[in-house]
Amino acid sequence: MGKAKLRIKRRERHIVAMGGGGFSMEPENPLLDDFILRLTGKRRPRVCFVGTASGDADGYAERFHAAFGNDRALASHLGLFRRTQVDLRAYLMGQDVIYVGGGNTANMLAVWRVHGMDAILRRAWAAGVVMCGVSAGALCWFGGGVTDSYGPLAALDDGLGLLPGSMCPHYDGEAQRRPTYQALVRRGQLAAGYAADDGAGLHFVGRRLAEVVTSRREAAGYRVERVGRRAVETRLEGRYLGM
């Protein structure tokens, strides 16, 4: 009698892309960060902060450790400008959450590719490590989006592509984000995609948007598509995570 094949169930793949919020923007409002931690199913998950987009700013990492370095999580951070980790793959695959901070998206993606981080992050996501981030750390998971990496707001079209289409963070937080994103989608410079207000997180399971979760009652997500010669915005009501 032949041996039965062992069936290994792939862990669900989660990405939470926050338009704004989390420990760096709402230090007194942990709702979005707590939601991310709960996705791991662990009481004290291993959470790694990646601050490449800010040039591995010390203050940013310090704020992360102040927020997570307690009974909430086993916190660590990965620096690439002063790299000390030799085996990035083993280190990142050993995390429960990879949390990407904000800053310059274009610079971050370039540095990641030099270190082979793009391939490692894809592998970690496929293995079930929860991916999340704010601003640049939200946009990076998509094929492209709206960035201020070059100064004025412009299209970025070389994201990691784990999620389809494009993304715009800070949709209600910066006056020019909404009109710029809609114009880029209307002109075909960006594919249809999603936007998120500050305080809103787009929660994807696999490559499908499962829900919008919010730390502010008024925050929401949006679907922005090109229809004919227009950009059409559809509001996606969020689930407020508070009481």
**135 part of the active site:** yes
Which residue among the candidates 54, 135, 166, 215 is catalytic per the annotation?
A: 135
**170 part of the active site:** yes
In order, the DSSP letters of the chain are: -PPPPPP-PPPPPEEEEESS-HHHH-TT--HHHHHHHHTTT-SS-EEEEE-GGGTS-HHHHHHHHHHHTTTT-EEEEE-STT---S-HHHHHHT-SEEEE--S-HHHHHHHHHHHTHHHHHHHHHHTTPEEEEETHHHHTTEEEEEE-TTSS-EEE-----SEEEEEES-TTTSTTHHHHHHHHHHTTSS-SEEEE-TTEEEEEETTEEEEEEESSTT-EEEEEEEETTEEEEEEEE-EE---
The pairing of beta strand 14-18 with beta strand 130-134: parallel
Which residue among the candidates 14, 77, 170, 203 is catalytic per the annotation?
A: 170
Cite the active site residues: 135, 170
